[in-house]
Amino acid sequence: MRLGLVLCLLSGAVLGAGPHGTSAQHASPAPPARMARTLVATTVPDSVLTDQDGRRFAFRDLRGKAVLVSFVYTSCPDVCPVMFHVVTEVQKRVQAEGHGDVASVFVTTDPEIDSPEVLKTFAVRRSVDFSATTLLTGKPDELQAVWSAFGVKVKRLGRGLVDHSPLTVLIDTRGVMRYRYLGGFPQAEIVAADVRNVLKNRATK
């Protein structure tokens, strides 16, 4: 099944999704906003967080790979599962095409609930390949530093409910952020093409 069809099916199941990863309360659902794609050139901070196995993880550990980083939380009722699905599917597709190493990283916006154990259970239920996918949590101040560095706004509305920027970014093999995708419904074909280009540029240097 093509990624575009999968995304349409998933998007159709999201009722009343708000712009920042929570459910808007409306009588009838509004159509999802299109993904906003921005070209950037920002060095990723050398931040350290904790992965789903309780190990310390540094973004520099993924140098040499194209990396998709998305900000989600496991109890999100609508947008985050779509973002998670699209990012992991893009990563698997490009990797299967033989273009090079692609990793996906998911940073929680709800450390109160998303412990390493919760993150791992969430990923296992989705048959994640842990050799290429990492889920991250950390202390509130550690996460706040990462959110700020990537430009993610996070507001806790209640236990298990967080309003946050629906952001995914693409980092090149040298640790430089190249694209920002803002919106809870990333366009898989566009993101995949950007990943291929990042890997192609690495190969020609």
Separation of alpha carbons 98 and 115, rounded Å? 34
pTM over 0.85: no
What pLDDT shows up at residue 205? 52
Q: Are 59 and 150 in contact (CB under 8 A)?
A: no
Instruction: List the one residue out of 182, 197, 178, 194 whose CA is nearest residue 42.
Output: 178
SS3 98: coil
Separation of alpha carbons 41 and 75, rounded Å? 32
Q: Is the dihedral of CA 100, 106, 107, 109 positive or negative?
A: positive
Question: Taking the domain 3-203, which CATH number applies?
Answer: 3.40.30.10
What pLDDT shows up at residue 11? 37
Structure tokens at 66: 């194209």
- List the chain domain ranges: 3-203
Is the pLDDT at 114 greater than 80? The verdict is yes
| Highest-pLDDT range among 95-99, 102-106, 184-188 | 102-106
